[in-house]
């Protein structure tokens, strides 16, 4: 597969906005090539051009070619494209929940992928064979009890299971090229490790080529034979993975290495001491916190039993400190964060600034919400698309009846200035007009405008590239130093946790399995589970995944 002077633009004619400007690179048989760069660099648009997934009303290709086995994909008709998609080239998308049909079972979607190209309806025997093939692929990608899980719907699977289903969908027709678009971005480190190992194994077994799109250079180092670096729609450097990581020539490539390395220092003992001077009073204390979810069975959906999503958790958070909560998907991290700010029903003691909020009525809790705010993982999903930035950030002031309209507007401006978005032109814009990093800053401003004492951060950097992660982490540390804020930082990214958190809790199946100062836990873990998480996050891997 080869790109030759490939151009892409949103729109057509004089009003078109060029996004890819004449790129050239190729992927050989059985080769893994990584396309890396920051958000908005043109990676995904270039990859989707291979299958021409975007509507011609949305995107145009003014010049160049994409050659697949000598044929120009950009000149193919609908029948030729249909034959190419799935059979010759398969794609794993970044977010499986939005890529899988929520109304169809996993088995139906896999069988459909197998039988879609048949002009006539498949015979019953062919359908039975397709169902058997679907189950065998679920087993092949590591789905436990595949026959049972095949009848499940996407929402009934975990994030890691959904991503495995996407891999099965992409590979069930044994394509010659696999396009993997950020396939591990939102996964915890152990599931990420499993998915990367799976892709490498299947690549070796099927003898296929891989185009791997990612902003995570640790992942790229592990899977790629060659690397192409994109910036602003252009390829600024290409080379073998070994050369790129050890002898990068372009300044932009070196800057990516800087952000991916240890450029932002971890919370050292000196940082911990400075952050704790005069700030020993606890902001939050949790004792015996338990969150239970009912398991219902039968036609009448009666509660048969309960599952403890959070099971007897205890911790304290001093003023001006950051507590990291780490664990795999399903370990109870997010449920714990929601329970802490009374967004999830729970049992046990939750004390915020000396007051036990457990058992309070909503009318009693509402005034206290000013002092405890939460920042969600997906800034686009948590910001109303119908509200301007001024209304989004100022909504809390209005609800709590703080100040006059001019005073509220000035407080909104001050909060936006504090997070690096002080341009007044931003006030009247909507969330879709901003990048992911800017939207996360808006979310931080919305929380800060109420002057909280405690901020719960639920995976706030998982969907951001390393450079933007670096900026958000530095912003959070600066705000903590200036305001004496306390953070509870929920994340599966141990690199970010090491840079921001003074202490960490390691969670598994709703329980705390290890806790302590970040440096001690990172350098001298006591529990096997902690060691496994650290191994998956920091293990040195061989450049190029398949020998």
Calpha distance 411→391 (Å, rounded): 12
The pLDDT value recorded for residue 539 is: 59
Q: Among residues 32, 430, 320, which one has the least CA distance to residue 196? A: 32
**pLDDT digits 0-9 by tens, 11-22:** 888 788 899 999
The model's confidence at residue 411, banded by pLDDT at 50, 70 and 90, is: very high
What b/e string do you get for 347-380 counting C-beta neighbours within 10 Å, with b at 16 or more?
ebebbbbeeebbeeeeeeeeeebbbbbbbbbbbe
H or E element: which one contains 443? helix 436-448
Reduced 3-state DSSP string for 183-230: CCCCCCHHHHHHHHHHHHHHHHHHCCEEEEEECCHHHHHHHCCEEEEE
**pLDDT digits 0-9 by tens, 60-104:** 999 999 999 999 999 999 888 888 887 899 898 877 667 889 899
Q: Is the pLDDT of residue 27 over 90?
A: yes
Calpha distance 293→295 (Å, rounded): 7
**Lowest-confidence segment of 199-208, 236-245, 291-300, 351-360 by average pLDDT:** 291-300
Q: Among residues 224, 182, 203, which one has the least CA distance to residue 32? A: 224
CB 353 within 8 A of CB 453: yes
Q: Is the pLDDT of residue 195 over 50?
A: yes
The model's confidence at residue 4, banded by pLDDT at 50, 70 and 90, is: very high
Tell me the angle at which helices 389-399 and 405-418 cross, rounded to the nearest 10 degrees: 120
**pLDDT digits 0-9 by tens, 94-144:** 776 678 898 999 999 999 888 775 554 555 667 788 888 999 989 888 888
Q: Tokens for 141?
A: 């990608």
**Lowest-confidence segment of 99-113, 453-467, 507-521 by average pLDDT:** 453-467
Calpha distance 70→84 (Å, rounded): 13
**pLDDT digits 0-9 by tens, 235-276:** 999 999 999 988 888 888 888 776 555 444 556 544 443 444
Residue 480, classed as helix, strand or coil, is: helix
Calpha distance 530→443 (Å, rounded): 31
- Mean pLDDT on 485-502: 88
pTM here is 0.71
């Amino acid at each position: 597969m080869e790109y030759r002077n490939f151009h892409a633009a949103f729109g057509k004619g004089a009003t078109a906005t060029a996004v890819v400007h004449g790129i050239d690179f190729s992927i050989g048989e059985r080769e893994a090539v990584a396309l890396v760069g920051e958000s908005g660099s043109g990676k995904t648009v270039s990859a989707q051009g291979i299958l021409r997934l975007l509507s011609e009303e949305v995107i145009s290709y003014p010049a160049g070619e994409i050659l697949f086995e000598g044929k120009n994909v950009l000149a193919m008709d609908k029948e030729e494209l249909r034959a190419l998609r799935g059979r010759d080239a398969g794609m794993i998308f970044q977010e499986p929940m939005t890529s899988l049909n929520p109304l169809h079972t996993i088995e139906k979607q896999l069988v459909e992928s197998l039988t879609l190209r048949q002009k006539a309806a498949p015979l019953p025997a062919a359908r039975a064979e397709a169902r058997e093939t679907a189950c065998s692929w679920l087993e092949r990608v590591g789905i436990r009890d595949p026959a049972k899980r095949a009848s499940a719907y996407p929402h009934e699977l975990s994030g890691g299971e959904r991503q495995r289903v996407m891999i099965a969908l992409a590979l069930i027709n044994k394509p010659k090229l696999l396009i993997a678009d950020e396939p591990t971005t939102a996964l915890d480190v152990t599931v990420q490790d499993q998915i990367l190992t799976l892709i490498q194994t299947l690549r070796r077994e099927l003898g296929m080529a891989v185009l791997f799109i990612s902003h995570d250079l640790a992942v790229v180092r592990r899977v790629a034979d060659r690397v192409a670096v994109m910036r602003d729609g252009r390829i600024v450097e290409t080379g073998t993975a070994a050369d790129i990581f050890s002898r990068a020539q372009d300044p932009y490539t070196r800057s990516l290495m800087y952000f991916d390395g240890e450029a932002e220092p971890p919370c050292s003992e000196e940082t911990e001491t400075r952050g704790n001077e005069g700030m020993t009073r606890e902001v939050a204390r949790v004792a015996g916190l338990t969150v239970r979810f009912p398991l219902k069975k039968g036609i009448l959906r009666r509660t048969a039993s309960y599952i403890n999503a959070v099971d007897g958790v205890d911790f304290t958070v001093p003023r001006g400190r950051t507590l990291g909560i780490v664990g795999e998907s399903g370990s109870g991290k997010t449920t714990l964060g929601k329970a802490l700010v009374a967004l999830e029903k729970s049992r046990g003691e939750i004390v915020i600034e000396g007051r036990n909020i457990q058992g309070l009525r909503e009318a009693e809790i509402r005034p206290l919400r000013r002092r405890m705010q939460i920042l969600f993982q997906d800034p686009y999903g948590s910001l109303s698309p119908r509200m301007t930035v001024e209304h989004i950030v100022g909504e809390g002031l209005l609800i709590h009846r703080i100040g006059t309209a001019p005073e509220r507007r000035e407080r909104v401006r001050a909060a936006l200035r504090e997070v690096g978005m002080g341009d007044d032109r931003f006030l009247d814009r909507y969330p879709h007009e901003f990048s992911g990093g800017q939207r996360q800053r808006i979310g931080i401003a919305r929380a800060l405008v109420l002057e909280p004492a405690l901020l719960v951060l639920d995976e706030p950097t998982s969907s951001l590239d390393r450079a933007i992660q670096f900026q958000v982490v530095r912003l959070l540390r600066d705000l903590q130093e200036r305001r004496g804020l306390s953070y509870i930082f929920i994340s599966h990214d141990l690199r970010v946790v090491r840079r921001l958190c003074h202490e960490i809790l390691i969670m598994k199946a709703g329980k705390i399995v290890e806790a302590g100062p970040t440096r001690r836990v990172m350098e001298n873990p006591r529990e096997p589970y902690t060691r496994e998480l650290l191994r998956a996050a920091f293990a040195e891997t061989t450049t190029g995944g398949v020998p």
